[in-house]
Structure 1
Amino acid sequence: MRYSIALTTVLAGLGLASDVLELKKDTLKGFVEEHDLALIEFFAPWCGHCKALAPEYETAATTLKEKDIPLAKVDCTEETELCQEYGVEGYPTLKVFRGPENISPYTGQRKADAIISYMTKQSLPAVSDLTADTLEEFKTADKVVLVAYFAADDKASNETFTSVASGLRDNYLFGATNDAALAEKEGVKQPTVVLYKSFDDGKDTFTETFDKEAIEKFAKTAATPLVGEVGPETYSDYMAAGIPLAYIFAETPEERETLSKELKPLALKHKGKINFATIDAKAFGQHAGNLNLEVGKFPAFAIQKTDKNQKFPYDQTKAITEKDVGAFVDDFVAGKVEPSVKSEPIPESQDGPVTVVVAKNYDDLVINNDKDVLLEFYAPWCGHCKALAPKYEELGALYASPELSKLVTIAKVDATANDVPDEIQGFPTIKLFPAGKKDSPVDYSGARTVEDLAAFIKENGSHKAAAAFEQAQDAAETDDLPEQAAAASEKVADKAEEATESAKSAASDATETAKTGTESAKSAASEATESAKSAASQASEHVVDEL
């Protein structure tokens, strides 16, 4: 596949014909009306992620063309209104079209194989009817396919499997057959499900009660390689799997392959309870620090409890062998290994309006109390965090009175220097832990203003506490309103006169500004470009989680 993508890039550079169609406002509607299924990318030429996607997208387009599934793209720098019409807010945005009215987001990975797999699934029914003539081809139609074997009159099993397929059709291909002879040939008894895959042992057979949740759990477990690979395309899936992840850090493909074979028996032993995966230590070695391993000392091994974000690093002075790592994993499963906790020292005093939380006092200050706790997860290098800091201090001061401080705590934690229960994906992340509902924190996604944050605390906190400035405002509203109205009228008159003079002056200034506007715009654009490059570089140097 690498050679295909590289060749595609060369051909694109030579300006040869592309299998990705370019659409504009006057052609998009006709295009989607003409095709029952299509994938459209909304992009910008300057976008780095779009450039990385381009060869993958081209390769997928060439393959899917044979299946009559067209891929197209829209340049949002030229078709601004069209992209706004389809709600494009970032690049690249990919959308699946089933005619002009049925539009859904593409949720697969941005690799050629993944795009081909995803769109192939979209082109098929939720469950494909299989026969003796089509079964063998269907088994290899994708990396993972699930086939149900049940009797023709078994409506309950049919409905259960169809329900599973409808919910997971974006992830896997589903087929079914009621041919009893075919089931016997495959060595299974009706009703059951067999997951066929292009890795490990080639297939897994479902052996439990024919239940929707049990089949879904089986599919997710069996579809995961015994020893997979952690990377940008798989990280989120491992985090969402709901079971611990064992990382195997190594710098070369050969070493990762060797360690994978060495630890595969352990992966098989703990299948469904712990996921095992290698990780490229050269590309993502900094992630070892997030697991409390020494960065640069590879190979290395660690287990992460993804639900609680607890880290269990394996002793880096020991060799990574099936025997030694096996003993470590057994102790982990038995609860004999204590999690490694990275923490700053507990502050000797809390003098400021914002309470400083570290890993060692996290439970006391955030969880084990009867207060509504607003907690900011920040990084020292984060520009947005620095911009928020003075506002956050001001917010803390509003709740500093003896009465309000008993109800509300405004707190912050350096998530790069302290282990916290949640896997934080970006900075700043702000969560409210309401009294009595600490296990259900509320994420904040509003504007980072003092007023909005205070309103969020009042609305979502258990105590419904109003900030001090709200109380002052309420009191002020009870003052002599007629006198305020008279004073306001005088101010309005004064402001109107000032505005008239300002308008005259602005009109004069505008004439001069127009003369120099063009050159200023060019200069500003140049400066913005350099600033963006600098910011991107700085952010890249400080990313906590490269994945």
Structure 2
Amino acid sequence: MLCKRVAFALLAAAAAVAASGDSDVTQLGRDTFEDFMKANELVLAEFYAPWCGHCKALAPEYEAAATSLKEKNIKLAKVDCTEESELCQAYGVEGYPTLKVFRGLDNITPYAGQRKAAGITSYMVKQSLPAVSLLTKDTLEEFKTADNVVLVAYIDADDKESSETFTAVAEKHRDAFLFGSVQDAAVAEAEGVKAPAIVLYKTFDEGKATFTEKFDLETIEKFAKTAATPLIGEVGPETYTDYMTSGVPLAYIFAETAEEREALGAAIKPIAEKHRGVINFATIDAKAFGGHAGNLNLKADKFPAFAIQETAKNLKYPFDQEKEITHDAIAEFVDAFAAGKLEPSIKSEPIPETQEGPVTTIVAKNYEDIVLDDTKDVLVEFYAPWCGHCKALAPKYEELGALYAESEFKDKVVIAKVDATANDVPDEIQGFPTIKLYPAGAKDAPVAYSGSRTVEDFVSFIAEHGKYKAAPEKKEEPAAEESEAAPAASESGGRDEL
């Protein structure tokens, strides 16, 4: 099982909470699990292993969230999967920690929120409310400040079309935002709103944004996504993943002090306003997370610095670090990026003159030629030289490569590897090793590998997901006694992860 990677995993330092009788997190086992879920309307359950580092880091945050949610009667529970393996298997636990939201035993959904106390609390409060809360004059003010971002629709009581559209948006995005509805015309008038309209209330920037276009699901989604993103945000443990998955390019402003970040943010603010919704802008603490500059092809010891990352394609556009960061210089740089006039910076090792051994070496400059060869199934290991798990995998991976190289599938299946710290690749890699299969005829739909790291399991995976169903037989060897080992894990690294 993989101990799942989260952004900033290597930098988030937190001590595990000592077991105590007054914990607000309920420990469950097979004898108590079902009764507890039946007795509580809403429960967040953590499936963990005591040896898992991410579980230990989560523990104090989980405990704090349990305490804050106690008064709302939202329960947090945990299950030790080393003691309750059958129970964890029954609920599809494949990595640690795994968090699931239970509404009884028949309505179970994955937890998709952040792993800090505030994020857990916010997420579970959203889960406890209806998709759209009907608000009155007396409840509106409290609701407007119930979270960092809330959306309130002002709709006439007889406008069923607008109400249904807004409800559809709320059902789809209830994990991200709180949604409320006001049908009282007098309340709308007091807010300076003419129905139908949506007001997004937020605790940052201008405080609110108003939507007055015709209610359409996609248009409302775009409005909410843009208005809910700070004009000049901050890249940190709670925001990194959201920026990376937004599909919007991210402009980083690296600086070592809060004062410098504030000054640069103020200078660049008009540029961010001009490109709002098209490019996100955020500052980043260069003292704490300056190493991430290297992932953007910037020098990690020369700040302040500026770069744009095309998150969808993982392309990097570093601003010349020999130049001063000024409004005019950055405006020209960003305008050129938006107009498609900038060439991305590509970090690549030299293309190997010869491919030695059964595992093909990929670099950025030959990535497309090898990985996107539509006539072959290509299994790629994205590794880091310093990664202990990658080193442990190497002999098995070489054995896998040799197995295919010596088989009838040698011209149809490629076993390959790429140093993802030394080469830019278009894939989102959040931990090492990451292994993906790029099937022939379906290069736009790679399949991530999450099984055990044995030659037999790799072969089964390629046979199941590859075009050619290639499964060469491994030569039988005398069985050797093996000691029981801990489940495999992956190591988090600097590739698009701070």
Q: TM-score range by the shorter chain?
A: 0.7 to 0.9
Aligned amino acid, residue 61 of structure 1: A
Tell me the residue number matched to 1:302.
Answer: 307
Aligned amino acid, residue 164 of structure 1: V
Distance 1:391 1:325, change over 3 A: same
Query: Which whole-Å deviations, capped at 9, do the CAs of 1:38-79 have from their partners, x for residues lacking one?
Result: 334455666554454444344433433333334445566777
Any idea what SS the aligned residue of 1:316 has? Answer: coil
**Aligned to 1:39, which of 41, 44, 51?**
44
Sequence identity percentage: 70
5 Å-filtered alignment, 1:251-400, equals 251-367=256-372, 370-400=375-405
Structure 2: distance between partners of 1:209 and 1:364: 47
Structure 1: distance between partners of 2:95 and 2:443: 34
Tell me the residue number matched to 1:107.
Answer: 112
Structure 1: distance between partners of 2:448 and 2:94: 21
Q: Does 1:203 align with 2:203?
A: no
Normalised by the size of structure 2, how large is the TM-score? 0.83
Structure 1: distance between partners of 2:270 and 2:318: 20
Is this contact kept in 2: 1:308–1:422, CA < 8 A? yes
Structure 2: distance between partners of 1:251 and 1:448: 41
Any idea what SS the aligned residue of 2:73 has? Answer: coil
Aligned amino acid, residue 263 of structure 2: T
Structure 2: distance between partners of 1:141 and 1:450: 52
Distance 1:457 1:61, change over 3 A: closer
Structure 2: distance between partners of 1:38 and 1:285: 38
Query: Which whole-Å deviations, capped at 9, do the CAs of 1:243-292 have from their partners, x for residues lacking one?
Result: 10111222233332332222222222111111111222222221111111
Query: Which whole-Å deviations, capped at 9, do the CAs of 1:207-259 have from their partners, x for residues lacking one?
Result: 44311122122212211111112223322211110110111222233332332
**Aligned to 1:412, which of 409, 417, 434?**
417
Is this contact kept in 1: 2:196–2:212, CA < 8 A? no
Distance 1:174 1:369, change over 3 A: closer
Distance 1:104 1:362, change over 3 A: closer
Distance 1:376 1:29, change over 3 A: closer
Is this contact kept in 2: 1:404–1:465, CA < 8 A? no
Is this contact kept in 2: 1:249–1:298, CA < 8 A? yes
Q: Does 1:128 align with 2:133?
A: yes
Query: Which whole-Å deviations, capped at 9, do the CAs of 1:56-106 have from their partners, x for residues lacking one?
Result: 344433433333334445566777776666555655444433345444343
Structure 2: distance between partners of 1:67 and 1:351: 62
Q: Does 1:60 align with 2:84?
A: no
Is this contact kept in 2: 1:284–1:546, CA < 8 A? no
Is this contact kept in 2: 1:286–1:545, CA < 8 A? no
Query: Which whole-Å deviations, capped at 9, do the CAs of 1:153-191 have from their partners, x for residues lacking one?
Result: 222221111111111111111111222333333333332
Query: Which whole-Å deviations, capped at 9, do the CAs of 1:108-150 have from their partners, x for residues lacking one?
Result: 2222222221222122111111122222221111111111122
Q: Does 1:149 align with 2:154?
A: yes
Structure 2: distance between partners of 1:443 and 1:57: 29
Q: Which has the higher contact order (CA 8 A, sep 6+)?
A: 2
Q: CA deviation at 1:373?
A: 2.9
Distance 1:252 1:372, change over 3 A: same
Q: 241-250 or 210-219: which moved more? A: 210-219
Q: 398-407 or 330-339: which moved more? A: 398-407
Tell me the residue number matched to 1:185.
Answer: 190
Any idea what SS the aligned residue of 2:138 has? Answer: coil
* Structure 1: gaps of 5 or more residues: 1-8, 474-523
Tell me the residue number matched to 1:519.
Answer: none
Q: Does 1:69 align with 2:74?
A: yes
Distance 1:353 1:30, change over 3 A: closer
Is this contact kept in 2: 1:408–1:465, CA < 8 A? no
Q: Does 1:226 align with 2:269?
A: no
Structure 2: distance between partners of 1:371 and 1:45: 42
Structure 1: distance between partners of 2:344 and 2:61: 40
Structure 2: distance between partners of 1:148 and 1:185: 14
Q: CA deviation at 1:197?
A: 0.6
Q: 22-31 or 139-148: which moved more? A: 22-31
Aligned amino acid, residue 412 of structure 1: K
Tell me the residue number matched to 1:478.
Answer: none
Aligned amino acid, residue 153 of structure 1: D
Q: CA deviation at 1:33?
A: 4.0
* Structure 2: gaps of 5 or more residues: 1-13, 477-482
Q: CA deviation at 1:426?
A: 2.3
Query: Which whole-Å deviations, capped at 9, do the CAs of 1:317-359 have from their partners, x for residues lacking one?
Result: 2222222111111111111111000011111223433332211
Aligned amino acid, residue 145 of structure 2: T
Q: Does 1:215 align with 2:220?
A: yes
5 Å-filtered alignment, 1:370-519, equals 370-400=375-405, 404-462=409-467, 464=468, 466=470, 469=473
**Aligned to 1:243, which of 245, 248, 272?**
248
Structure 2: distance between partners of 1:437 and 1:89: 26
Is this contact kept in 2: 1:43–1:74, CA < 8 A? yes
Structure 2: distance between partners of 1:99 and 1:118: 18
Aligned amino acid, residue 323 of structure 2: K
Aligned amino acid, residue 103 of structure 2: R
